[in-house]
Amino acid sequence: DGGITQSPKYLFRKEGQNVTLSCEQNLNHDAMYWYRQDPGQGLRLIYYSQIVNDFQKGDIAEGYSVSREKKESFPLTVTSAQKNPTAFYLCASSPPLAGSAYNEQFFGPGTRLTVL
Amino acid sequence: DQQVKQNSPSLSVQEGRISILNCDYTNSMFDYFLWYKKYPAEGPTFLISISSIKDKNEDGRFTVFLNKSAKHLSLHIVPSQPGDSAVYFCAAEGGRGSTLGRLYFGRGTQLTVWP
C-alpha cells in the first residue's frame, strides 16, 4: 500500500535532548513537508523540501533541522534549542507541481512528542 | 500573520441538518483552496477542493463555495452525520511563483454533530 509512515506514534524525551522524528513515503512524491499542530494554532509549517538535497525553512524553523538525502525520507530533528517542543508533528508529501493542477498534500498519521 | 482565517473555532449541529464552515483569506494570489478533515491523534485527510476559476464544487454530501470578490469560501455538509464530527481545516495554495506551491492553513473549526 502506498502511503506515508511516521514513527514512533508517541515519543518522550528529556529536556535538553535532541530527538529525530522519522517520515517515510512510498508515493514517489518529490515534495515533503513538516508541520506542527498545537491546540488552537492549526498547522504551522516547519520545513519543506521540493527535491532531494534541497530544503527551505517554513514559518517556525527555529530549533529544528532536517535532511533530504533520499526522495523517500525526510527526517526532522527537534533540537534542544526548540523552546517549546511538546506538540503533535505531522509529515506530508505532494506530487510534482508540473504534473498536477494543484498541490494536494497527503499526510502521515503524526507523532506526539512530549518533553518531560 | 494569518493569511487564511477560520474565525469560528467550533460549530455544533444536529444530525441531518446542514453544517456550514467558513473560511476567509487575505492573499489574492491564492488560486486553489482545499478542505481537510482531521480526527484526534491522526493526520488530516483531504476532503474537497476548488479552483479559483470556479465558484462551486460538489462531492456527495460536501459542497465548497468560493466568493473571490469577498475572499471567502465555505464548506457545506448536507445532511450532517455524527461521523462528520472532526476538526476541519481550510487551506489555500498560491500557485506558481512566490509561494512555491506551499499550502497555508487556517486554525481549524471543530465540528460536532449530535444525534
Cβ–Cβ gap B100/A56 under 8 Å? yes
Task: List chain A residues with CB under 8 Å of B100.
Answer: 50, 56
Count Cα neighbours of B94 within 13 Å in the Cβ-side half-sphere.
Answer: 17
Residue B56 — very low, low, confident or very high, per pLDDT cuts 50/70/90?
Answer: very high
For residue B29, the model assigns a pLDDT of 84
Tell me: pLDDT of A19 over 70. Answer: yes
The Cα-based distances of A101 to A91, A97, B52, B88, B101 in angstroms read: 22, 7, 12, 23, 11
The closest of B69, B103, B63, B76 to B22, measured between CA atoms, is B76
Select from B3, B105, B109 the residue whose CB has the most chain A CBs within 10 Å, as the one to mutate to test that interface: B105
User: Taking CB atoms and an 8 Å cut-off, how many pairs form between chains A and B?
Assistant: 60
Tell whether A102 is within 8 A of chain B (Cβ): yes
For residue A102, the model assigns a pLDDT of 66
Q: Rounded mean pLDDT of chain A?
A: 90
B16: alpha, beta or left? (left if phi > 0; alpha if psi -120 to 50): left
A46-55 long-range contacts, Cβ below 8 Å, gap at least 24?
Answer: A46/A76, A47/A76, A48/B102, A49/A74, A50/B100, A50/B101
In angstroms, rounded to a whole number, what is the distance separating the alpha carbons of residues A69 and B99? 24
What secondary structure does DSSP assign to A3-40, as a single string?
-EEEE-SEEEE-TT--EEEEEEE-S--SEEEEEEEETT
Tell me: pLDDT of A44 over 60. Answer: yes
Instruction: Report whether A61 contacts A45 (CB < 8 A).
Output: no
Residue A18 — very low, low, confident or very high, per pLDDT cuts 50/70/90?
Answer: very high
**How is residue A71 written as a grid cell?**
526522495
Count Cα neighbours of A34 within 13 Å in the Cβ-side half-sphere.
Answer: 30
For residue B94, the model assigns a pLDDT of 73
Give per-residue pLDDT as tens, A69-91.
Answer: 999 999 999 998 888 999 999 99
Tell me: pLDDT of A17 over 80. Answer: yes
In angstroms, rounded to a whole number, what is the distance separating the alpha carbons of residues A93 and A96? 10
**How is residue A31 written as a grid cell?**
515534495
Tell me: pLDDT of B19 over 70. Answer: yes
Helix (H/G/I), strand (E/B), else coil: A45: strand
With CA atoms as reference, the chain B residue closest to A39 would be: B107
